[in-house]
Structure 1
Amino acid sequence: MAKKESYEEMLTKLQDILSNLETDDLNLEESMKSYEDGVKLINKIYKVLNSYEAKISIIKEENEVEFSENNEDR
Structure 2
Amino acid sequence: MDNYEELIEKLENIVNSMENDELSLEEAMKNYEEGIKLSNKLYKILNEAEGKIKLLSENGEIDFNTE
**Same fold, TM-score > 0.5, yes or no:** yes
Greater fraction helix: 1
Runs of 5+ in structure 2 lacking a partner?
60-67
2:13 is equivalent to residue 13 of structure 1: no
Q: With structure 1 as the length reference, what TM-score do the two structures score?
A: 0.76
The runs of 4+ residues in structure 1 deviating greater than 4 Å are none
Question: Rg bigger for which structure?
Answer: 1
User: Size of the alignment, in residue pairs?
Assistant: 60
Runs of 5+ in structure 1 lacking a partner?
65-74
Letter in 1 for 2:24: N
Letter in 2 for 1:9: E
Percent identity for Structure 1 against Structure 2: 47
